[in-house]
Structure formats: structure tokens, C-alpha cells
């Protein structure tokens, strides 16, 4: 009796919460305060916790909490998701309307008009009223399975409660972020010392494509639905406008700006109205979409390549305004790139006051011939990121000095004072103080601690952010001075986890030269190059003193990488950090340097010039197997092709093994590798 009562109450709570989700997230008409909604949700969570058998896939408690994915699966769309052709001016829209009328042989066409959202297109598949799949558009035929993520978006119903629900229903829509939600998200990022997002579209797309749905749930995402894919088991309205109203009745969120208009004049009037109201909508749009209203006419018109003949996106022009370039500042990014930023006389562009704009790099400044004091035109590119478009010659432009980024910073990083350099053939200027520079601190620490570098388990991005924000760590060397009490004072870090992290940091003191070189974060020095450098020089001291001419003698090291390595070790700040790391006990076994044998005829290695792919579970760590293969002269790659010489397969090998067998590539095991090592 008690179980039946609990089940009935759980069902009623699910119904109530779904109703209030729809009122709040779809209709924007909440009926109860947040505290009452939270009480209902907590009651349902308590019931399901006491009786797990009550949990259902469409329960609102299941919107968050799926385990992180290793990668997205592929979804093939049963009905392709088409792109839209664009019109960029009035004449192009009139031409579109003319072509439609000519093909339909009529004098005037009725269109459904909608705003063109700047988000990410998705397809939602429902079977018997339950959401079973959410997918990105991808290439239009195949997308990525983001079901766990779309389930976190409260404007998307998990189960359709209306009558006459189709057996199969695919709904197409645009996931986006409101401007208010975008500002709140960036405020949280700033508060946590994280990276801010450039614009709402990037934030929405990045949020929807997180491998961990719990991260997606923290993003203020919503959706407007605009069309259908496959539908089975229900009669569907025969106009675009009525289909949208039908979706609205089923509980989906549609744009309140949807309207029927008549002919090209109706489209133009709608476009002008939306352009005037654009700044007040509360979300980013980049134009208007016009679709032939009658579905039968859409079918008659068909499509060209991936775009329908019956629809067009009339894009807004990027809004431009004149202003003055007051100065050029230089900022240092997290990877050490020095970026020039324009300081502008404040100007209103697209409803937003603009005072700064990125100038990208020296080449861009030179191309536009930008000089401090110039009159310039500013545009909000993509309606979000301000950019300086061009100079307006005021008669004094030629008399103003040209801007040189390296000269402006005196050849040094403005944050840490390390040498700044611009590699030949590249546009970017970079700071060489990677281990020391405060601007690069988070990135340097994260890379240093990563699994393929020093492998410090438990030292993730959240912990690093706090260590940097609290000024506890200035370089990787400072990690080795941390104690349990200091770490236990961080958020979400108890005594036990702090002790585990201190132990992991201590364990990382014993490493290999290849790992250590990779951990330093030298530009263009990945695992394979670090392995080659370690194998060639045998120890760090000769590597640090090597000239560029000596470095290019290392197999697979060319002039560009040699310059990066030499420049890194020439920087005094980097050498100071390395000395401090060694002072704190970081060490590795010295190797027999391959360069000493380079002068003598080299004995042929068993796998010289061979390409090997690893797959499956091995008895040894994957990195050890890779190192052994490389020591035998093999090149280890990640994918199987006709050029692969061997596939070394362990237990539970999957698709790579199947592909090797299909291509006739020889498959070997660990015993084969051991036999070669023993030769």
C-alpha cells in the first residue's frame, strides 16, 4: 500500500514539475515561486532515493548527472537538416521571391517569417512521446549524439503530455543563450578566474558539446523550435506557420516573433521592423528567415545541393560606426601570445558601447595601416566582437608614426619581462617565459601536471585556478612546496584529498627526462619530440646548452622546433624555474646519449622506418609500449591506414583491429614486441 502511494505521489510530482517547467522555461509565465518549485523537486528526489524503482528516464531529477562521455556517437538524420541560402541586400531578397513565384507560377506568395537565431541547430527525436535522442546538425546528414546534454535544457520537454502525440516525432530547433544568461555566465567565469566566452553563440555551442552533461547543466541554454524532421503516426498541418503552432501546443518553445507575411513587401516590412527591435529582443540574431508557407509548395520547389529553394536567410549587415583610435595596448594571452588591443573613443555600435577592439596581430595592423590618432570605422563582427574595419584618412594619417608591437613592449613581455619574439614566417609575437609568466601560469601548470607530462593525479583545472587566484603558486616549482594544510584550505578539498594530492606531487618527483621535457611546455615540443630530445642528449644539461645547429641533428627536429627549444632554454626565467624544480627533488635517470654514437655507423634498429598503431588493453602502460617502439625506430600513430606496417593489439581491441584485418595489415602482440626488445 505504501509503495503504491509513493508511486502515485512521484507520478503527480513529475506531472507538476513538468507543468511548471513549461510555464517558466517555455511560456515565461511562472505560477509559483522558486522556493516552492525547489520543494517539489526535493520531495521527488527524496521519494526516488528511498525507492530507486520509481526513477524513470523522463523524471526531472534525471536532467543532470550522466557520466562523462569519452566521445560523441554519430547520429544519421532520417531527414537531412538543410542549410539556408543567404540574401545580403534587398535586391537579393527580391530575386529570391521572383524565382519562387516563377517556379510556382503565381503572382504572390505567403511566407512564414522568423528571426534567425545565432545558436546551434539540433534535432530532437521523440518516440511515443519520450525524448530518445538529441543530435547536432553536423554536416546535415550526420550529427553528434548530444542526448545527455539536451536533456539538461529545461525548455526541452522530456515527455510530451499533449493528446495525439505522434509515434515518431523529430523536432528541429536552435539552442542558444540569452544575452542576460551570457552575461551571468561570464560573471561566474570571472569570479572563478576562468576564461570568458567571446559571444553567446560560442558559449551555447561549447555548452552543448560538453562530454560531461553536468557542465552543460550549468550553462543557461534554451531553445526555439522551427521545424520538423520525420513524423510517424500523426496528421501534420500543411503549412509552416500551422506546424509551428502545433509544436507550441505539444509543449515546444517557438519564437514569439513568428508571423505570416504576404509577398516580398511583407518580408521587407518584417525585416525592417525586426532590425529596429533587434537590440531589445534579449538574444542575438543575425537576420530574418523567410519560408514558403504552404508545405505542398515547398515540396514542388525542392532544393539545390544542401539548401532548399523555398527558404532564404536575409542577413543583417554588420553595423559600423566611425570613432577615433586613442591608443594600442598589448595583452598577453594564456598561451603567451601578445595581442594588440585598440583603445577607442567610446561609440555606440549595435546598441552596445564599444571602447576596445582586438587588432589580432602585427600583420593585421600593417595591412590596415592603423596608427594611433587615426579616424577609424568600427564594426561588431558577428554582432558581438568589435573590430576595426578601416582607416578614414583625415589628412594627418601619413604624419602619424607606424605602430610596431615589439618596439612598443621594448622586446619584452609586458607581464613578466621575459624576451618576446616573433618567429620567422609567423604573425604572432610570443612571450618566451612560459614557466614564469603570470599570464600563462594556469596553462603552464595544467600542462605540467597533465597525465602525459608529470602525471600529478588530482591536480585539475579547478584546483589550479584556486592556487593561482590565491597567489599560492607562481611556477611549477612552487607545487613541490605545498603542504596538506594549505591544500585543505581550498574549496572542495578536505584533509584526505589534500593528503592524496601532496602524495601525488611527491611521487611525480621521480620521472623520466622525456616526460620532464614535455612538461616544460616548450612550443611545438610534444611527446614524440620530447622523447627524441631525451634519447639524443641523454640528460637535461647538454640539452639546455645545445645550439640550434646541434638541435637540428636530432631526428625529426627541424629548424623551427630547434629555434623554439633553444630560445626557451636561453630565457633566464625558465632556467631559474628548472633549477628550482631540481632543487625540490625532481629527477630522472640519465640515459646513454644517442648523439655519442651518431658519429659511428649506426646499428640498424629493428623497426626503423616502420609505422605502428597501438590498440586494446596492454599489460604495460601504453606510454611504455610507445617508448619501446620508438626506441626500436618505429613511428607510432593513432589511426590505421594502408601505410601502417603493424598493429600491436592487446585485449579487447576494437575498431582499429577490425580495420587492420580489413586492410590486411599484420597484427602482432606484446610477445612480439618483447622478442624485438630482447634482440
Instruction: Kindly state the DSSP code that residue 162 receives in the 8-state scheme.
Output: S
For 82, 223, 291, 446, the CA distances from 229, given in Å and listed in that order, are: 11, 16, 16, 43
Instruction: Please report, for residues 110, 443, 444, the alpha-carbon distance to residue 340 in angstroms, rounded to integers and kept in the order given.
Output: 50, 20, 22
Per residue, what are the HEC states of 510-560? ECCHHHHHHHCCCCCCCHHHHHHHHHHHCCHHHHHHCCHHHHCCCCCCCHH
What is the CA angle 278-252-164, rounded to 5? 150
Separation in Å, CA 640 to CA 267, 392, 479, 621, 658:
53, 55, 40, 20, 10
Report whether 362 contacts 305 (CB < 8 A): no
Q: What is the DSSP letter of 24?
A: I
Contact status, residue 533 vs residue 524, Cβ threshold 8 Å = no
Record the cell numbers describing residue 44, joined without a space: 521527488
Q: Which residues pair with 336 in a beta bridge?
A: none
User: 291 catalytic, yes or no?
Assistant: no
| Cα radius of gyration (the chain) | 30
20 to each of 34, 37, 42, 525, how far by Cα in Å? 10, 8, 15, 54
Q: Is 98 helix (H, G, I), strand (E, B) or coil?
A: helix
Torsion, CA 345, CA 350, CA 356, CA 358, rounded to 10: -130
CA distance readout (Å), 19 to 25, 37, 207, 377: 10, 11, 25, 50
Place of cell 630482447: 678
C-beta of residue 431 within 8 angstroms of C-beta of residue 439: yes
Using alpha carbons, select from 570, 152, 82 the residue that is nearest to residue 302. Answer: 82
Per DSSP, helices labelled H in 116-238 are 147-150, 179-191, 200-208, 213-216
* Distances in whole angstroms, Cα of residue 260 to Cα of each of 158, 190, 245, 254, 441: 30, 43, 12, 14, 55
Catalytic residue among 5, 116, 195, 635: 116
Q: List the alpha helices (DSSP H) in 380-494.
A: 405-408, 441-449, 461-469, 484-488
What is the rounded CA–CA span in Å between residue 675 and residue 679?
Answer: 7
Residue with cell 520537454: 157
CA dist 102 → 260, 300, 306, 309 (Å)? 21, 12, 21, 12
Q: Are 240 and 113 in contact (CB under 8 A)?
A: no
* Residues annotated catalytic, as ranges: 116
Amino acid at each position: 500500500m505504501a509503495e503504491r502511494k509513493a508511486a502515485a505521489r512521484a507520478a503527480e510530482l513529475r506531472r507538476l514539475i513538468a507543468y511548471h517547467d513549461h510555464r517558466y522555461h517555455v511560456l515565461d509565465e511562472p505560477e509559483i515561486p522558486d522556493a516552492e518549485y525547489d520543494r517539489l523537486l526535493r520531495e521527488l528526489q527524496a521519494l526516488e532515493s528511498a525507492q530507486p524503482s520509481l526513477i524513470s528516464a523522463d523524471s526531472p531529477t534525471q536532467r543532470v548527472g550522466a557520466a562523462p562521455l569519452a566521445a560523441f556517437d554519430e547520429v544519421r538524420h532520417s531527414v537531412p537538416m538543410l542549410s539556408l541560402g543567404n540574401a545580403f541586400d534587398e535586391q537579393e531578397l527580391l530575386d529570391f521571391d521572383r524565382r519562387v513565384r516563377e517556379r510556382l507560377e503565381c503572382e504572390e506568395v505567403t511566407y512564414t517569417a522568423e528571426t534567425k537565431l545565432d545558436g546551434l541547430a539540433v534535432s530532437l527525436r521523440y518516440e511515443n512521446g519520450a525524448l530518445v535522442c538529441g543530435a547536432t546538425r553536423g554536416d546535415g546528414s550526420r550529427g553528434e549524439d548530444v542526448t545527455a546534454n539536451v536533456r539538461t535544457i529545461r525548455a526541452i520537454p522530456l515527455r510530451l503530455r499533449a493528446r495525439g502525440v505522434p509515434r515518431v516525432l523529430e523536432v528541429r530547433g536552435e539552442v542558444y543563450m540569452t544575452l542576460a544568461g551570457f552575461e551571468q555566465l561570464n560573471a561566474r567565469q570571472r569570479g572563478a578566474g576562468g576564461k570568458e566566452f567571446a559571444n553567446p553563440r560560442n558559449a551555447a555551442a561549447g555548452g552543448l558539446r560538453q562530454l560531461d552533461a553536468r557542465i552543460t547543466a550549468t550553462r543557461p541554454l534554451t531553445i526555439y523550435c522551427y521545424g520538423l524532421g520525420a513524423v510517424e503516426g500523426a496528421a501534420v498541418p500543411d503549412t509552416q506557420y500551422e506546424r509551428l503552432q502545433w509544436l507550441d501546443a505539444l509543449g515546444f518553445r517557438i519564437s514569439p516573433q513568428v508571423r505570416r507575411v504576404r509577398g516580398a513587401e511583407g518580408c521587407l516590412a518584417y525585416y525592417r521592423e525586426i532590425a529596429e527591435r533587434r537590440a531589445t529582443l534579449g538574444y542575438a540574431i543575425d537576420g530574418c528567415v523567410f519560408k514558403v508557407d504552404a508545405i505542398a509548395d515547398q515540396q514542388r520547389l525542392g532544393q539545390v545541393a544542401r539548401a532548399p529553394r523555398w527558404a532564404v536567410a536575409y542577413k543583417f549587415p554588420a553595423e559600423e560606426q566611425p570613432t577615433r583610435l586613442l591608443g594600442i595596448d598589448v595583452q598577453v594571452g594564456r598561451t603567451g601570445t601578445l595581442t594588440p588591443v585598440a583603445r577607442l573613443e567610446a561609440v555606440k555600435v549595435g546598441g552596445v558601447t564599444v571602447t576596445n577592439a582586438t587588432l589580432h596581430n602585427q600583420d593585421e595592423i600593417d595591412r590596415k595601416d592603423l596608427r594611433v590618432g587615426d579616424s577609424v570605422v568600427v564594426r561588431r563582427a558577428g554582432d558581438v566582437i568589435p573590430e576595426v574595419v578601416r582607416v578614414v584618412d583625415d589628412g594627418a594619417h601619413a604624419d602619424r608614426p607606424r605602430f610596431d608591437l615589439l618596439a612598443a613592449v621594448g622586446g619584452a613581455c609586458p607581464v613578466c619581462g621575459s624576451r618576446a619574439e616573433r618567429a620567422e614566417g609567423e604573425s604572432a609575437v610570443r612571450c618566451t617565459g612560459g614557466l614564469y609568466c603570470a599570464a600563462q601560469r594556469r596553462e603552464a601548470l595544467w600542462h605540467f601536471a597533465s597525465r602525459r607530462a608529470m602525471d600529478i593525479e588530482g591536480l585539475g583545472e579547478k584546483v589550479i585556478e584556486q592556487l593561482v587566484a590565491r597567489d599560492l603558486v607562481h611556477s611549477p616549482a612552487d607545487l613541490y612546496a605545498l603542504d596538506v594544510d594549505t591544500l585543505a584550505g581550498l574549496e572542495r578539498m578536505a584533509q584526505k584529498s589534500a593528503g592524496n594530492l601532496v602524495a601525488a606531487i611527491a611521487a611525480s618527483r621521480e620521472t623520466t627526462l622525456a616526460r620532464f621535457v614535455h612538461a616544460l611546455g616548450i612550443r611545438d615540443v610534444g611527446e614524440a619530440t620530447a622523447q627524441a630530445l631525451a634519447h639524443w642528449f641523454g640528460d637535461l644539461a647538454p640539452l639546455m646548452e645545445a645550439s640550434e645547429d646541434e638541435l637540428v641533428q636530432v631526428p625529426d627536429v627541424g629548424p623551427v622546433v630547434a629555434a623554439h627549444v633553444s630560445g626557451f632554454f636561453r630565457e633566464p626565467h625558465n632556467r631559474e624555474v628548472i633549477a628550482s624544480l631540481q632543487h625540490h627533488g625532481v629527477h630522472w635517470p640519465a640515459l646513454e646519449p644517442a648523439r655519442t654514437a651518431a658519429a659511428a655507423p649506426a646499428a640498424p634498429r629493428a623497426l626503423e622506418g616502420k609505422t605502428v598503431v597501438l590498440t586494446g588493453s596492454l599489460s604495460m602502460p601504453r606510454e611504455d609500449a610507445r617508448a619501446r617502439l620508438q626506441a626500436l625506430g618505429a613511428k607510432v600513430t593513432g589511426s590505421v591506414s594502408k601505410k601502417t606496417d603493424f598493429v600491436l593489439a592487446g585485449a579487447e581491441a576494437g575498431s582499429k583491429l577490425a580495420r587492420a584485418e580489413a586492410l590486411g595489415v599484420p597484427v602482432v602482440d606484446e610477445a612480439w614486441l618483447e622478442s624485438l626488445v630482447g634482440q
